[in-house]
Amino acid sequence: MTRHARAVHARRVYDSPSPDDGVRVLVDRLWPRGLSKVDARVDEWPKALTPSTELRRWYHGPDGDPEEFVHRYEAELESPEAAEALEDLRSRARKGERLTLLTAAKDPEAGHAAVLARLLTES
């Protein structure tokens, strides 16, 4: 495992913040229900890195497929604004800055936060 792989992890935004979180980055397009900004302790919210509304609706609809979601999401992340935000976080992770990707998803290791974590730790 590379040093920057350990610097990035995904957690539920509803979990209590930890001193080990480092920079807390919200990676959901919508603010989490019932959570105040103070309680969330979000440091950054780069909406360019979040799945589009259209992609989210497709994925949670009857035709949504996990493998196809990853393919479509990675394609969205190639837009100039998303690519710039992704490279910024990737660079910081390479330097050893601890990044916690926050999502409201029940399983952060199986959704878009996991895709982002993988992309941020790839060389």
Could you tell me if 28 and 13 are in contact, meaning their C-beta atoms sit under 8 angstroms apart? yes
pLDDT for 123: 61
Does 1 score more than 50 pLDDT? no
pLDDT tens digits for 13-54?
A: 999 999 999 999 999 999 999 999 999 999 999 999 999 999
Q: What is the mean pLDDT of residues 49-63?
A: 94
CA distances from 113 to 13, 46, 54, 83 (A): 11, 13, 17, 16
- Average pLDDT, whole number, for the chain? 93
